[in-house]
Structure formats: structure tokens, C-alpha cells
Amino acid sequence: MSNWILLRGVNEPPAQRLELRAGPLTLQFEAGTLRYIRLGEQEVLRHIYMALRPPDWSTVVPVISNLKVDSQEDHFEITFDADHKQGEIDFSWQGHITGDRQGTIRFSMEGIAHRNFWRARLGFCVLHPMSVAGLPVELLKKDGTRERSMFPKAISPHQPFMDLQGMIHEVRPGIRAEVRFEGEVFETEDHRNWTDASFKTYCTPLALPRPVEVKAGEKISQSVTLFLHYGQEGEEDKIREQKDPARFHTPALFTPPQPKPLRIEGLVTANPFPLPRIGLGMASHGQSLTPKEIARLKLLNLSHLRVDLPLFESDYRNRLQRAGEEAEKLGVDLEVALILSDVAREELMDLRDALFQIKPRVCTWLIFHIGESSTTEKWIQLARPVLKEYAPAAKVGAGTNAYFTEINRGHPPVALIDLVSYSINPQVHAFDDATLVENLETQGVTVQNARRIIGDKLLAISPVTLRPRLQPNGSPPEPKAIPGELPPQVDVRQTSLFGACWTTGSLKYLLEEGIYSVTYYETTGWRGVMETEQGSPLPEKFPSRPGTVFPLYHVLADVGQFIGGTVIPTRSSDILRANGLGLRKNGHTRFIVMNLSPVPEQVTVAGLPSRVWIRPLDEQNVEQAMQEPETFYQENGKEVGTEEGHLKFEMLPYGLVRIDYRR
């Protein structure tokens, strides 16, 4: 396999980023978008991009051409063409981005539709970083008025800001950032609902009728402009009106930040959380596990196997039978996700008969209804007596089969259940590697916010997947695949080192919050932790090798060895570049360090003893680890010394390093 296939699952690097300067601001241009606009080390805006979404809320990714860049020491100008083509959609636009010495950045688009089509959204999206949560903001309304507000600290279930033409917030004392929107009316949603690490301001308001028809020949123009205001609030904008802007560019502001040394350390906590129950989903491809696959899955020390049972489907009994048999062979219990319909009473009576006939071992029930985003009291009242009759000790849970936003908007009846559940995936809104890394931190934030809703009830995250399982709006059924293309639930990064790094990051943020259980991926196949012995159905699209494990298998194996232990919270100097997961059990400590970037990184881990064992998993040994997982599982790595408890080493792109010691 080529290095990029091992690293990312596809034989190409991530989109190239261009570093830019606009006076005191630094930023990056990537594939027709702007990212990480910073004033010194302070992030002002995370992302500005143009989005075209059809009625099903999928995303039509543009093809960028005719790119021209004039980048100078303190200003720049960029022009390019963008084409969105998918099905009936054919829309193109010209992008023009400028950044001047005063710190003003303007991003404009002039577009035209080449045929009639329907759209749910067409226009700019601006992301404020999650770090502004709880800070004041001044809203510039479409009617010309101004309104003082705050970015929500707790995750807002609904749009916190409406009818916008602009927003102003303080970046640092005496410096404010103003964003102006032209060409449409904008509003803001709390992106953390879907684990995106941002507040997104977008057009068109969701309260307006949609989808909207775009006529052939229709022209659309929009722009987003970022200004910096200096001085106390209410003073004249000195940057835009001052004839000598250099007067306001102090050396501290004008000097771009230097990359921080990457440092990771474990944190001492008085009452560390125990490792939660960790399980996998039953494979959706329908094939039974082979003896070899069962032996490899046993090495993960799983606690449960999740099976989805739509009780209105005629074959659910066969699915329950297979799940029970596989769970028995793996030595684990079942987490059963029941999807009811409006004839739930009859469905539950049939399920009761099936349970006493098949006799599966069940540890957890999750109750959902096909017509509800968040389970209401009626269905729990119906189901609980039946489920408790069969398995009195099993936990009865409910919540949502979709995203945190659903229980944030419709609180489940927590008094009637033992635990609350919701699922996670990082690609509700964007799909690039950088966004997936950004969204890791927010998984823990959703858990913190769930505590506001559920109190001391147990929390199960189920399942965690790389791609959405359901429709873009989170509703069933699962979307269908286009012949010859990968199913929309499948991501080639499942096979890659990036997938292993992302899984480690997900475990870090969820485990550090003290959840009860978490379910990842599936057992086998292109949505699982290993390829089937038959291999990929589309090897040209999903380049896996038959019978091999994926790198993320070894992450789960390394964590599984510590079941019954506790979690060590870790801190990183730059969570978008590298991070760490800490574990402890019976005097044995393990850190799994991940390089979250596509370039080599120098990392220092602090707080270690004088001697440790290290074992990398990277492009140099990952193929052997995938083909011979049993051998790799037994490897301890090599013993090395530290310098006063500090271990410095280079990590290859998307590589992992396991550090072990006993004391």
C-alpha cells in the first residue's frame, strides 16, 4: 500500500494549506476556504466557506480551478473559480478574497445557476471557535438595530442569534472583531449540538420555506468582511479611518505566533473515573463471524455487542438470533437497540416470545421510536415491563438514535429509565481531516451538557462512527448506496492510521468525562475494526486487504487491556496537532500519544519515571500490525530512558506511540 493509503485510506494527501497575512492577522487558505484566522495566538474565526446543500442536506463539494494567489508580507489577494455539480445541481461562482495591512479580510462570491435546481442552503458559513462560549457579543440586526447578547455557555438547543447582518466580539482587551454579511439574512446555530467545535452563522434562515428553487441564469452575490476595531468600545474605528495604519501595528500584534513546542502530560485527579464498558456494533453486512475473527475480537476485552432491532421488520428475529450467538461466542452481553413503531404493543409481545425462545444475554436496552427524534414517555411505559420481565438486571435506556441535539431539544423522561443514550459522528457538516480533528474536543463537551439534562443517570454513547448512519437530518432509514460507489455510511479512513488517531482522541474525551458505556463502529467489514476474510466488496474504492485488522483495532486492544482500571486525564499544548490518552491499572500506567497532523511532529511527554517502554504504530510498521495482529499485540516495544521525567521523540504523520511503565 502507498503511504497515503496507510495514512488516510486514499492515495492522496490532504488539501494543501497556504499561510497568509493580513496586517496583524494570520490565516490559512485551503480548497476555496479560509481557516484559523488568528490575532497572535488568539483565534478570531475558525472557518469561512461557501456551502451548497441540496434538499436532503448533503453537501455538494466544489471543484476549485483557475486559482491565483498574490501573497505579500502583510497583505494578499486570491481569486478562483468554484463549480458545484451533482445530479440536477450545476452552480458556479467566482471567489475573491483580500486581506489588507489594517487587518481587514473580505471574502466575496459572484455565482450563477446553469440549470434549475432545488437547494436547502446556498451561501456563506462563518464559524466562530468554541472558545467564545460565554463571551459577550453585539448583534447587528437586519433592521439596523444593535443588540447585546452572549455566545451561549451551555449548548443552545435552538438558534441563539437571528436576523443578522453582523456580529462584534472582543478578541482581547481593546481589540474587537466585527463580521459583516451581505447578500442574505444570516442566523447562528450552536454547532456543538453535533460535536462541531464552533458556532456557525449561515444563510438562509431555517424559519423560511425550503427547499428553495434556483432558476437557470439566476445570479447570487454574497460577501463576508472581517474588520478589527481598536480602542475602547464606542470609539471611532481607528483602523479603517486612520491614514497611517502602521501607527496601530505594535510589534506584539504584528509578529505572527511561532509554533508551540508540543507537550503532553498526565494530570493528577483525586477521584479518577473508571474505564467504561466498551463494545462494538454487530456487522451490518450480515455475515457471521468466523473463528479467526472471534479470536481476534476476544483480544479487545469487549463488554458488549450492540444489535439494532427494528421490530416492525419481518427479519428482526433472525438478527436477534445471530446477535445472541455472536455475543455468546465472544463472551459478552448484548446492547439491544429497539426501534418501535406505532403498533409497539403488538411488537413488544412478539419480542417477548422471541426473547424467551432465543434466550440472548442482554445487559442494556435502548428504546427508540421510528417517528420520534427523542424517546417519549409512552414508549418507555410500554416497553419497560416486558424488558424487565425477561432480563430484570439489564439497564433500560432511551434518548436518541441520532445526535445530542435531539435530547437537548427534547429531554427524555429520565425518571423512567436507568440510562440515557445518544450517538456521535464527526461528519454531520464537514468531511475533511482537520474538521474531524477539531470536533474531537466537543465530544466531551456534549457529555458535560448532557449532565445538565440527565442529572446522575448513567450515560451511554452508542454508537460512535466515522460517518453518519442515518439521513442527514438524523432520521431513519439508513441512506442507500449508489451502485459502484461506497455506501454513505462508509469512510475509507476506517482502514487508516488517521482513523486510529481519531478513535484514540474520541476515547480520550469520552473516557475523561466518566460515561457508563460506549459503543464503537462494528465488528467486521468496512464499518468495522477489521476486514472480513472475503475482503472489500469494492476494493478499488475501499482498498483493504482480506482478513486484516484496521489500525484502530490496536487502539481498542491497548485500551481493552486496562478494563477495570481508571482514566488519567491528559493535557496537550496544542490539541489540533497532538494529544494523549492516559490509563492506569494495578500499578501499570499507559499513555497513547497521537499525532493528529499529516506532517512529522516533535512531541514531549512529561511526568514520566526514569525508564519507560515505548511502542510506535505508524507507517513503518502498520502493515505488519494489520496482517499479524496477534504478534503485534504481544509486543512491548523497547525500553528507553527519560530526561528528568521528560521523553522527547519524533512522531510520523498520523502516528501513535504507546508509553508504558510500572511504579
Q: Quick one: which H or E segment has residue 582?
A: strand 578-585
CB atoms within 10 A of CB 141: 15
What are the start-end ranges of the H helices in 256-301?
291-298
Structure confidence at residue 269 (pLDDT): 84
DSSP state of 287: P
| The pLDDT of residue 258 | 72
CB atoms under 10 Å from CB of 650, counted, come to 12
**pLDDT tens column, 494-529:** 999 999 999 999 999 999 999 999 999 999 999 999
For residue 251, what pLDDT band results from cuts at 50, 70 and 90?
Answer: very low
Q: Sorting pLDDT into bands at 50, 70 and 90, what band is 254?
A: low
C-alpha to C-alpha distance for 121 and 222, rounded to whole angstroms: 13
Tens of pLDDT, residues 82-104: 999 999 999 999 999 999 999 99
- Is cis: bond before 463, omega within 30 of 0? yes
* 244 confidence band (pLDDT: 50, 70, 90): very low
User: Quick one: average pLDDT of 532-551?
Assistant: 95
Residue 641: all three cell numbers together: 530512558
Residue 59 pLDDT more than 80? yes
Is residue 241 pLDDT above 50, yes or no?
no
Percent helix, strand, coil in the chain (nearest 5)?
20, 40, 40
Give per-residue pLDDT as tens, 307-341: 999 999 999 999 999 999 999 999 999 999 999 99
The residue type of 609 is: P
Please name every residue paired with 602 in a beta bridge, in sequence order, or none if there are none: 650
- Give the per-residue pLDDT at 630: 97
Residue 457 DSSP code: S
Report whether pLDDT(303) > 80: yes
Q: Is residue 230 pLDDT above 60, yes or no?
A: yes
Q: What is the mean pLDDT of residues 10-15?
A: 92
What contacts 117, CB < 8 A, 6 or more positions away? 54, 87, 88, 89, 90, 91, 213, 214
pLDDT at 392 over 60: yes
Per-residue pLDDT tens over the stretch 461-491 = 999 999 999 876 655 666 677 888 999 999 9
Strand partners, 642: none
Residue owning grid cell 469494492: 538
| Cα separation, 24 vs 39, whole angstroms | 6
Is residue 362 within 8 A of residue 390, CB to CB? The reply is: yes
> In whole numbers, what is the pLDDT of the chain averaged over residues?
94
Distance CA 26, CA 169 (A): 18
Closest by CA position to 201, among listed 192, 190, 193: 190
Question: Quick one: DSSP state of residue 528?
Answer: B
Rounded distance between C-alpha atoms, residue 460 and residue 644, angstroms: 40
- Dist. CA 67–CA 95, nearest whole Å: 9
For the stretch 572-590, pLDDT in tens is 999 999 999 999 999 999 9
Cβ proximity of 288 and 322 under 8 Å: yes
Distance of CA 143 to the CA centre of its chain: 36
Per DSSP, the residues of 145-194 read -EEEEE--SSPPSS-SEEEEEEEEEEEETTEEEEEEEESS-EEEEEGGGG
Pairing of strands 175-182, 570-572: unpaired
**Angle, alpha carbons 593-596-597 (nearest 5°):** 135
Q: Helices 344-358 & 316-330, crossing angle to 10 degrees?
A: 40
Q: Is the pLDDT of residue 627 over 70?
A: yes
Convert the pLDDT of each residue in 265-302 to its tens digit: 999 887 899 999 999 999 999 999 999 999 999 999 99
Instruction: Compute the average pLDDT of residues 218-222.
Output: 97
167-176 pLDDT per residue, tens = 999 999 999 9
Share of the chain above pLDDT 90, in %: 90
